[in-house]
Amino acid sequence: MVAYSAHVQLSDIIVRFESDRERDICELKSFFKYHLIDTTDESDCTVVLKRQASFHMPKDAEMLWQSLRHGDAKPARRFGRRRVSVPSKLNTNGLASCYYSRAREEYYYGLMLDLSWLCYHPLEHTIYHILHQPPQRKNKAVGTEVSNPLNAMPLLIHVITTVHGRYLAHGAAVAIDHKASLFLGKSGSGKSTLSTDLARQKASFMGDDLVLLYTKDGVPMVGSLLLQAKLYMDKADEKSSVDVPAELQTDYCLSAPLEAVYAVQQNGLPMSSVKPRPATELLQQLMEASNGMMMQYDRQQWLTTMYAISEQTPYYLLHYGARSSLTTSLLKNR
């Protein structure tokens, strides 16, 4: 019998988390602080957090993909036995992979350097997040014990959202007049700064690093994931995680129709400016910002969504100048 549970709404997906440990649910409630809902409605997906001594992959399971970092999924044989070390990973705990068992009709997602597995049952709409003890060798544990379900949260969110046609994208977003502006760019391009600066100007904050892209009734949409931002606060040397709505006292938005997409580039000039770009460039940017085709549960649906967004949404190059020059008016009057 499940002792503890919580309901989380990601865009319009209702996810029920279950665990027999109160600590797990408390940590999840803190993580999804702004997405918690009270509901008696049936959930779209159930995530069961389990702990067990070991995990055994079905013998007939075949590998579908293996990924080193966000958007870089390849067959396992491409990596061989070479040790890899990359700064930007899909998750913070190492190599991710996906297997499929035809006999059981189940998908298995694993973190290679973290003893954590996700078992997805398509017919049951249930994901079992299995955290298990490392093997013992000469009275010493191999690896470290997995005790926090949040360790695998990036991979878990990817699995939940991709099976429901919502796709993670590396980008920032704000809503202006209830319509979303999406900002794409490499790390360090200024997405966190510009999104929080716009939120201080009465735009509604939606995220500074990861957002959800999808279509609803044919309309491109943006959904928020985390309402935290990594910022340099009080002249600190390192970035710290900031709860934007609470600490910066801004509005926030959980989902909104996508009005425009901007590729962010810093120009070092006093003024910021926007210039229109072709839809073909937007499609390429979306491909780079979202997880690659191989990692999607329904690859054709993923392609259809990316094409729909690129065909229906205006795309601009945002030359990001001095912070004072970036205003909501600049985006409205583009």
Residues of the chain above pLDDT 90, percent: 52
Helices and strands, counts by H and E, the chain: 7, 22
Q: Give the mean model confidence (pLDDT) for residues 130-149.
A: 57
What's the mean per-residue pLDDT of the chain? 84
Q: Which of 74-88, 107-121, 129-143, 264-278 has the lowest mean pLDDT?
A: 74-88
Q: What's the CATH code, domain 167-332?
A: 3.40.50.300
Tokens of 255: 């989902």
**Which amino acid, 86?**
V
pLDDT at 141 over 50: no
Q: Give the mean model confidence (pLDDT) for residues 168-172.
A: 92
Instruction: Spell out the domain ranges in the chain.
Output: 4-162, 167-332
How far apart are alpha carbons 68 and 248 in whole angstroms? 34
Note whether 97 and 112 are within 8 A (CB). yes
Residue 252 is classified by DSSP as B
- CA angle at 150 for the pair 145 and 151, rounded to the nearest 5°: 50
How far apart are alpha carbons 223 and 229 in whole angstroms? 16
Per DSSP (E only), the strands in 208-281 are 210-216, 219-224, 228-231, 240-243, 255-266, 273-277
In this predicted model, what pLDDT tens digit does every residue of 179-193 receive, in sequence order?
999 999 887 888 999
| Per-residue pLDDT at 58 | 92
In this predicted model, what pLDDT tens digit does every residue of 190-217 receive, in sequence order?
899 999 999 999 999 999 989 999 999 9
Kind and range of the H or E run holding 272: none
Q: DSSP letters along 274-321, please?
A: EEEE-HHHHHHHHHHHBPPGGG-SSHHHHHHHHHHHHHHS-EEEEEE-
pTM value is 0.86
- Closest to 213 in 3D by CA, of 80, 136, 307: 307
Polymer length in residues for the chain: 334
